[in-house]
Protein backbone atom coordinates (compact mmCIF):
# COMPACT_ATOMS: atom_id res chain seq x y z
CA UNK A 1 0.00 0.00 0.00
CA UNK A 2 1.03 3.59 -0.63
CA UNK A 3 0.81 5.95 2.34
CA UNK A 4 1.14 9.73 2.14
CA UNK A 5 2.05 11.76 5.22
CA UNK A 6 2.14 15.46 6.06
CA UNK A 7 4.81 16.46 8.51
CA UNK A 8 6.38 19.40 10.29
CA UNK A 9 9.93 19.55 11.56
CA UNK A 10 12.36 21.86 13.24
CA UNK A 11 15.33 21.57 10.89
CA UNK A 12 17.82 23.15 13.31
CA UNK A 13 19.71 20.01 14.24
CA UNK A 14 19.40 18.17 10.89
CA UNK A 15 21.61 17.92 7.83
CA UNK A 16 18.55 18.49 5.65
CA UNK A 17 15.90 16.19 4.24
CA UNK A 18 17.88 13.83 2.06
CA UNK A 19 19.46 10.68 3.48
CA UNK A 20 23.23 10.70 3.27
CA UNK A 21 25.94 8.12 3.76
CA UNK A 22 28.00 10.15 6.22
CA UNK A 23 25.31 11.28 8.67
CA UNK A 24 22.24 9.82 10.33
CA UNK A 25 20.86 13.29 11.05
CA UNK A 26 18.48 13.67 8.09
CA UNK A 27 14.70 13.79 8.15
CA UNK A 28 14.36 11.12 5.45
CA UNK A 29 16.80 8.90 7.35
CA UNK A 30 14.84 9.24 10.63
CA UNK A 31 11.55 8.39 8.88
CA UNK A 32 12.98 5.38 7.08
CA UNK A 33 14.55 4.02 10.27
CA UNK A 34 11.20 4.07 12.12
CA UNK A 35 9.28 2.64 9.15
CA UNK A 36 11.78 -0.19 8.74
CA UNK A 37 11.30 -1.01 12.41
CA UNK A 38 7.55 -1.07 11.84
CA UNK A 39 7.53 -3.14 8.65
CA UNK A 40 10.57 -5.33 9.11
CA UNK A 41 11.63 -4.53 5.54
CA UNK A 42 13.53 -1.80 3.74
CA UNK A 43 11.35 1.29 3.13
CA UNK A 44 12.13 4.18 0.80
CA UNK A 45 10.49 7.51 1.71
CA UNK A 46 9.91 9.97 -1.15
CA UNK A 47 9.70 13.64 -0.16
CA UNK A 48 8.00 16.39 -2.17
CA UNK A 49 11.47 17.88 -2.40
CA UNK A 50 14.66 18.21 -0.42
CA UNK A 51 15.04 20.82 2.24
CA UNK A 52 18.55 22.11 2.97
CA UNK A 53 20.37 21.70 6.23
CA UNK A 54 18.67 23.81 8.92
CA UNK A 55 15.50 24.49 6.90
CA UNK A 56 12.16 23.85 8.66
CA UNK A 57 8.86 22.47 7.42
CA UNK A 58 5.27 23.13 8.40
CA UNK A 59 3.74 21.01 5.64
CA UNK A 60 6.31 18.74 4.02
CA UNK A 61 4.62 15.85 2.17
CA UNK A 62 6.14 12.40 1.70
CA UNK A 63 4.98 8.96 0.60
CA UNK A 64 6.18 5.38 0.97
CA UNK A 65 5.07 1.87 0.09
CA UNK A 66 4.50 -0.79 2.73
CA UNK A 67 4.09 -4.50 2.06
CA UNK A 68 1.65 -4.85 4.95
CA UNK A 69 -1.92 -3.52 4.88
CA UNK A 70 -2.03 -1.10 7.82
CA UNK A 71 -4.36 1.73 8.76
CA UNK A 72 -2.75 5.07 7.86
CA UNK A 73 -3.72 6.44 11.28
CA UNK A 74 -1.91 3.59 13.03
CA UNK A 75 1.21 4.20 10.93
CA UNK A 76 1.07 7.88 11.93
CA UNK A 77 0.77 6.96 15.62
CA UNK A 78 3.72 4.60 15.34
CA UNK A 79 5.83 7.25 13.60
CA UNK A 80 5.04 9.89 16.21
CA UNK A 81 5.84 7.49 19.02
CA UNK A 82 9.33 6.70 17.73
CA UNK A 83 10.34 9.86 15.86
CA UNK A 84 12.27 12.49 17.83
CA UNK A 85 10.44 15.48 19.35
CA UNK A 86 11.43 17.78 16.48
CA UNK A 87 9.68 15.79 13.75
CA UNK A 88 5.89 15.37 13.83
CA UNK A 89 3.52 13.68 11.40
CA UNK A 90 0.21 15.56 11.57
CA UNK A 91 -1.79 13.75 8.89
CA UNK A 92 -1.62 10.43 7.03
CA UNK A 93 -3.83 8.71 4.48
CA UNK A 94 -3.72 5.93 1.94
CA UNK A 95 -2.86 7.25 -1.53
CA UNK A 96 -3.44 5.84 -5.02
CA UNK A 97 -0.75 3.28 -5.81
CA UNK A 98 0.93 5.50 -8.43
CA UNK A 99 0.97 8.68 -6.31
CA UNK A 100 4.46 10.17 -5.86
CA UNK A 101 4.91 13.16 -3.56
CA UNK A 102 7.59 14.81 -5.71
CA UNK A 103 6.41 13.99 -9.22
CA UNK A 104 2.76 14.89 -8.58
CA UNK A 105 3.33 18.17 -6.71
CA UNK A 106 1.80 21.04 -8.68
CA UNK A 107 2.48 23.96 -6.35
CA UNK A 108 4.65 24.77 -3.37
CA UNK A 109 4.76 27.58 -0.87
CA UNK A 110 7.87 28.55 1.07
CA UNK A 111 8.02 31.19 3.76
CA UNK A 112 11.04 33.25 4.82
CA UNK A 113 10.88 34.84 8.31
CA UNK A 114 12.89 37.97 9.14
CA UNK A 115 13.33 39.76 12.48
CA UNK A 116 14.01 43.45 11.89
CA UNK A 117 14.26 44.33 15.58
CA UNK A 118 17.60 44.45 17.42
CA UNK A 119 17.17 40.99 18.96
CA UNK A 120 15.15 37.92 18.07
CA UNK A 121 12.27 36.80 20.30
CA UNK A 122 13.86 34.20 22.59
CA UNK A 123 11.10 31.64 21.96
CA UNK A 124 11.23 32.03 18.16
CA UNK A 125 14.95 32.53 17.76
CA UNK A 126 15.54 29.31 15.82
CA UNK A 127 12.88 30.23 13.24
CA UNK A 128 13.88 33.75 12.26
CA UNK A 129 16.77 35.33 10.44
CA UNK A 130 18.00 38.13 12.69
CA UNK A 131 18.55 40.99 10.27
CA UNK A 132 18.39 43.63 13.01
CA UNK A 133 17.57 46.45 10.58
CA UNK A 134 14.39 47.95 9.20
CA UNK A 135 13.39 47.13 5.64
CA UNK A 136 11.61 49.32 3.11
CA UNK A 137 8.84 46.87 2.32
CA UNK A 138 7.30 49.00 -0.46
CA UNK A 139 10.55 48.80 -2.41
CA UNK A 140 10.68 45.05 -1.82
CA UNK A 141 7.14 44.72 -3.18
CA UNK A 142 8.13 46.62 -6.31
CA UNK A 143 11.05 44.23 -6.83
CA UNK A 144 8.81 41.22 -6.16
CA UNK A 145 6.49 42.24 -9.01
CA UNK A 146 9.41 41.90 -11.45
CA UNK A 147 10.29 38.45 -10.09
CA UNK A 148 6.73 37.13 -10.27
CA UNK A 149 5.74 35.15 -13.39
CA UNK A 150 7.61 32.71 -15.61
CA UNK A 151 11.34 33.44 -15.86
CA UNK A 152 14.69 31.73 -16.19
CA UNK A 153 15.86 31.84 -12.56
CA UNK A 154 19.44 30.68 -13.24
CA UNK A 155 20.78 33.77 -11.41
CA UNK A 156 18.87 32.56 -8.34
CA UNK A 157 20.14 28.98 -8.45
CA UNK A 158 22.70 27.86 -5.85
CA UNK A 159 23.86 24.83 -7.83
CA UNK A 160 26.50 25.29 -10.52
CA UNK A 161 25.94 21.85 -11.92
CA UNK A 162 22.29 22.44 -12.83
CA UNK A 163 22.00 21.08 -16.38
CA UNK A 164 18.20 20.93 -16.65
CA UNK A 165 15.91 23.86 -17.36
CA UNK A 166 16.10 26.67 -14.84
CA UNK A 167 12.78 28.15 -15.97
CA UNK A 168 10.19 28.30 -13.21
CA UNK A 169 6.94 30.13 -12.51
CA UNK A 170 6.45 32.16 -9.34
CA UNK A 171 2.73 32.71 -8.98
CA UNK A 172 2.82 34.98 -5.99
CA UNK A 173 5.17 36.68 -3.54
CA UNK A 174 3.37 37.87 -0.41
CA UNK A 175 4.60 40.14 2.36
CA UNK A 176 3.08 39.71 5.80
CA UNK A 177 3.98 41.61 8.97
CA UNK A 178 2.69 39.63 11.95
CA UNK A 179 4.30 42.30 14.15
CA UNK A 180 5.74 45.73 13.38
CA UNK A 181 9.35 44.51 13.31
CA UNK A 182 8.78 41.08 11.78
CA UNK A 183 8.45 40.28 8.11
CA UNK A 184 7.35 37.01 6.49
CA UNK A 185 7.82 36.68 2.75
CA UNK A 186 6.00 33.77 1.15
CA UNK A 187 6.76 32.46 -2.31
CA UNK A 188 4.26 30.29 -4.19
CA UNK A 189 5.22 28.62 -7.44
CA UNK A 190 5.31 25.45 -9.49
CA UNK A 191 8.82 24.56 -8.38
CA UNK A 192 11.97 26.07 -6.95
CA UNK A 193 15.66 25.58 -7.80
CA UNK A 194 18.28 24.74 -5.22
CA UNK A 195 18.53 27.60 -2.67
CA UNK A 196 16.28 29.69 -4.92
CA UNK A 197 14.01 30.93 -2.11
CA UNK A 198 16.97 31.85 0.08
CA UNK A 199 18.66 33.77 -2.77
CA UNK A 200 15.36 35.51 -3.60
CA UNK A 201 14.93 36.43 0.09
CA UNK A 202 18.52 37.68 0.30
CA UNK A 203 18.16 39.77 -2.88
CA UNK A 204 14.85 41.24 -1.69
CA UNK A 205 16.42 42.14 1.66
CA UNK A 206 19.20 43.98 -0.17
CA UNK A 207 16.49 45.96 -1.99
CA UNK A 208 14.75 46.67 1.32
CA UNK A 209 18.02 47.93 2.80
CA UNK A 210 18.56 50.29 -0.16
CA UNK A 211 21.61 48.40 -1.44
CA UNK A 212 19.86 47.59 -4.72
CA UNK A 213 17.10 49.25 -6.71
CA UNK A 214 13.88 47.29 -7.45
CA UNK A 215 14.42 47.77 -11.21
CA UNK A 216 17.64 45.75 -11.06
CA UNK A 217 15.61 42.54 -10.82
CA UNK A 218 15.04 42.42 -14.61
CA UNK A 219 18.76 42.75 -15.30
CA UNK A 220 19.60 40.08 -12.72
CA UNK A 221 17.13 37.64 -14.30
CA UNK A 222 18.54 38.34 -17.77
CA UNK A 223 22.14 37.80 -16.66
CA UNK A 224 21.57 34.11 -15.82
CA UNK A 225 24.52 34.40 -13.46
CA UNK A 226 24.44 33.62 -9.74
CA UNK A 227 26.91 36.40 -8.99
CA UNK A 228 24.43 39.06 -10.12
CA UNK A 229 21.85 38.18 -7.44
CA UNK A 230 22.06 38.90 -3.71
CA UNK A 231 23.27 36.84 -0.77
CA UNK A 232 21.88 33.47 0.21
CA UNK A 233 19.74 34.16 3.28
CA UNK A 234 20.47 31.76 6.17
CA UNK A 235 18.48 28.53 6.38
CA UNK A 236 17.10 29.19 9.88
CA UNK A 237 14.47 31.63 8.53
CA UNK A 238 13.12 29.26 5.86
CA UNK A 239 10.02 27.07 6.08
CA UNK A 240 8.50 24.72 3.52
CA UNK A 241 4.92 25.75 4.24
CA UNK A 242 2.64 23.84 1.89
CA UNK A 243 2.69 21.44 -1.06
CA UNK A 244 -0.36 21.16 -3.32
CA UNK A 245 -1.40 18.26 -5.54
CA UNK A 246 -4.43 19.60 -7.43
CA UNK A 247 -7.09 16.90 -7.80
CA UNK A 248 -4.67 14.09 -7.02
CA UNK A 249 -5.11 14.17 -3.26
8 binds a second copy (CB under 8 A): yes
d(CA 85, CA 107): 28
212 binds a second copy (CB under 8 A): no
Q: Which helix (H) or strand (E) holds 173?
A: strand 167-179
d(CA 115, CA 85): 25
**Which lies closer to a second copy via its Cβ, residue 87 or residue 199?**
87
d(CA 193, CA 167): 9
Phi, psi at 113, each rounded to 5°: -110, 125
Answer for the pair 127, 239: CB distance below 8 angstroms, yes or no.
yes
User: x-or-dash pattern for a second copy, window 166-185, by CB under 8 A?
Assistant: --------------------
- Choose one: 77-85, 181-189, 194-202, 225-233; the region binding a second copy (CB under 8 A): 77-85
Answer for the pair 70, 208: CB distance below 8 angstroms, yes or no.
no
**Which lies closer to a second copy via its Cβ, residue 123 or residue 161?**
123
The site that binds a second copy (CB under 8 A) totals a number of residues, namely 18
Strand 129-130 versus strand 107-115 pairing type: parallel
Nearest Cα to 211, choosing from 230, 225, 196, 186?
230
138 binds a second copy (CB under 8 A): no
**Which lies closer to a second copy via its Cβ, residue 12 or residue 169?**
12
Catalytic residues: 52
Q: How far is the CB of 233 from a second copy (least distance, A)?
A: 18
CA distances from 138 to 29, 36, 176, 212 (A): 42, 50, 12, 13
**Which lies closer to a second copy via its Cβ, residue 8 or residue 93?**
8
Q: Count Cβ atoms below 10 Å from residue 214 Cβ, excluding itself.
A: 20
6 binds a second copy (CB under 8 A): no
d(CA 140, CA 173): 10
- Choose one: 44-52, 97-105, 117-125, 200-208; the region binding a second copy (CB under 8 A): 117-125
- Choose one: 123-131, 135-143, 175-183, 203-211; the region binding a second copy (CB under 8 A): 123-131
10 binds a second copy (CB under 8 A): yes
9 is in an annotated binding site: no
Q: How far is the CB of 195 from a second copy (least distance, A)?
A: 23
87 binds a second copy (CB under 8 A): yes
88 binds a second copy (CB under 8 A): yes
**Which lies closer to a second copy via its Cβ, residue 121 or residue 152?**
121
125 binds a second copy (CB under 8 A): yes
3-state secondary structure of 204: helix
d(CA 28, CA 228): 34
Which residues contact a second copy (rule: CB under 8 A)?
8-10, 56, 77, 80, 85-88, 118-123, 125, 127
Amino acid sequence: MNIVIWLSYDGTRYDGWQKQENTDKTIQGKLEAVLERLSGASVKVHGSGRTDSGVHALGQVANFHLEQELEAGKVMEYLNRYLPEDIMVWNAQEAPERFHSRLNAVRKTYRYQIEMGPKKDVFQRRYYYGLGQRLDIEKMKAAAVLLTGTHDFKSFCGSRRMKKSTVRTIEEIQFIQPEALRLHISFTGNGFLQQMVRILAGTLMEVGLGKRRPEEMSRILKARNRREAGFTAPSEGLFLEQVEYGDFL
